Structure formats: C-alpha cells, structure tokens
Amino acid sequence: MNESRSALMEGTEDAAAIDFGQLDSEIPQKPTKHPLAIACHLGFRGLAILVYLLCRFFTDSFVSSFVTVLLLLSADFWVVKNVTGRILVGLRWWNYVDDAGQSHWVFESRKDGDSSEAGIFWVALVASPALWMLFLFIAIFTWSFQWAMICTIALCLNGANLYGYIRCRLGSKNSISSAASN
C-alpha cells in the first residue's frame, strides 16, 4: 500500500502543480492612484441611496429622513463637482457672472488619465440618476409624493453633474492648462 501511495506521490512531483490561489497572485493588480477620491465618489452616492431605501424602516419621521438624504446628496454634488471630477477624469465645470450681469458657463478638460478610475467615475455618474429616476417612478406610482420630492431633488443634483461633465467631455474648447495660464 505504501509503495503504491509513494508511486502516486512521485508522479505528481513531476507534474506542474499549481497551488490554490497562485494563479490569482500572478495577475498584476493595478492599484488606483486615488482610492480616497473613488471612495468619496461612490460613498456619498451610495449612502444617499441606502439611506433613502432604509430610512422608512428605521424612523417614522419624514423630516429627519429628508434632511439626512438631502445632506448626503448635497455633499455628493459638491464632492463630485469640485473634487472627484477633477482628480479622477480631469474635468471641471463652473458658472460665473461678469460685471455686466451675464452668466458664463465654463467647461474644461485635460488629457485622459487612468482609464479604470475614469470608468468608475462615469459608471457612477450615469447609474445614479438612472436609479433616482427609477425611485421617482416608483414613488409616483405608489402615491408617495413626499418621497417623490426627494427623488426629484436627487435627480436634479445628479443630473446637473451629469450634464456638466458630459459638456466637459464632449464640448470643451478650453483646457485646464490654458485656463491656468490666463
């Protein structure tokens, strides 16, 4: 019995055996350059959606739910517009009013950076308004007009960022470097 067992063991030594998990470690994992920016980009969006979905189960107060979701949506809007758009994809947009009272919109872009970070940015930027639109339809069809108001605000804030970044990506004539030199 021992001889047959040792013969089997000897046969396996010649074969190229791969340890469990060894194949995964050979695939190069490219770490992102800006993990905190990605966490903020996804975090505020995810928290706003999570709180919206779960707040009905934890509190009966619509006002506290409204304020919490609105604060998360506002933080998400600010972070995406002022931080993650610039860091992850090199895009930014803003509005200013000149001395004559005319409103001017500025859309800027720089050359493409990390494609994995850009993919995360764009998927979250497009998926979030789509989810809020779904929540809005559900709220309207269930006659929950208070919750529809939250969805409308979320859709406006997320839609404004989406519109601004699409304009930056597709229609920007200014680059960040030329704006910095002015």
Contacts of residue 84, defined as CB under 8 A and 6 or more positions apart, other chains included, come to 37, 38, 40, 41, 121
In whole angstroms, what is the distance from residue 46 CA to residue 103 CA? 33
pLDDT of residue 178: 43
pLDDT of residue 182: 40
Give long-range contacts, CB 8 A cutoff, 24+ apart: 25-34: 30/116, 32/114, 32/116, 32/117, 33/113, 33/114, 33/117, 34/87, 34/88, 34/117
pLDDT of residue 56: 83
pLDDT of residue 22: 57
Mean pLDDT in consecutive groups of 10 residues from the start of the chain, 182 residues: 54 54 56 79 92 88 91 94 86 88 86 74 92 95 92 95 89 49 40
Domain ranges of the chain: 34-91+104-181
pLDDT of residue 25: 54
